[in-house]
Structure 1
């Protein structure tokens, strides 16, 4: 019979390395988990746009200005298509 040349502990090291690797989830699994957490969370109920605007008036105004500017550009683009 032919001898198998194995280094001692090599097979144990391989299994230990596998155990040390983080569990790899698919993108679909991650999105499902995120979706479930969003649905079960009350974060959106507690953190409203109004609350954000009160706590961050300058940032809220910048968002509002950008949204209005974007709406004007889209409206002008729609008129040019006709």
Structure 2
């Protein structure tokens, strides 16, 4: 089908074949070409969810530690540190 979008060619390696076989169990009436699109879409969603979870964990860790070590540094510590940096 004509398109102006980029096309991607994928060789059915053993790993790709296994993924397609698994996808065929979930979507049994789909041709392998459509299964590939479904796998890419599902993989993208999974990665996005994982990224969101990871970001949430990082933000929680920042919140848990924010301000806990304020007494470890004397007043003006950051200013003094910046004075040591080259301009």
State if a TM-score over 0.5 links the two structures.
Answer: no
Q: Which one scores higher on RCO, CA 8 angstroms, separation ≥ 6?
A: 2
Q: TM-score, normalised by structure 2?
A: 0.33
Select the structure that is richer in helix: 1
Structure whose CA Rg is larger: 1
